[in-house]
Amino acid sequence: MKQLILVFLGGGTGSILRYLTSKALNGSFQNFYLGTFLVNIIGCLLIGFILGLSAKNDLLTQNQALLLTTGFCGGFTTFSTFALEQQTFLKNGDFLNFTFYTVASILVGILAVMSGFWLSRAF
């Protein structure tokens, strides 16, 4: 039960921050969902960093890692919104932005996870 509460609290916090970020930044660039892109990339960086720290020196307990990764990062990032935005690009025939957003999200996301692991080495 304790683990469910930790995921719930982390997820709720992440979801609120995702909502505020997306509300503030989506629409600031025409044909690019900056808020969604940033929360997904920051979430990738954070999960790499958190898991890197956890694996390196047992800095976090299993429950703390669960709160921060499954809870917070899971609530903060959003694949479903990304997919919906992609569908909007396709519906509008905007294949250039569809391709750019897809490739950028995947490549930068993977690089962010790798960077998070790399950054965790400094701690």
Nearest to residue 48, comparing CAs of 117, 120, 119? 117
Q: Is 27 annotated as a binding residue?
A: no
Gap between the Cα atoms of 14 and 7, Å rounded: 10
Q: Which two tokens stand for residue 23?
A: 């509300």
Amino acid at 116: G
Q: Is 77 annotated as a binding residue?
A: yes
Binding-site annotation, residues? 74, 77
Binding-site annotation, residues for Na(+)? 74, 77
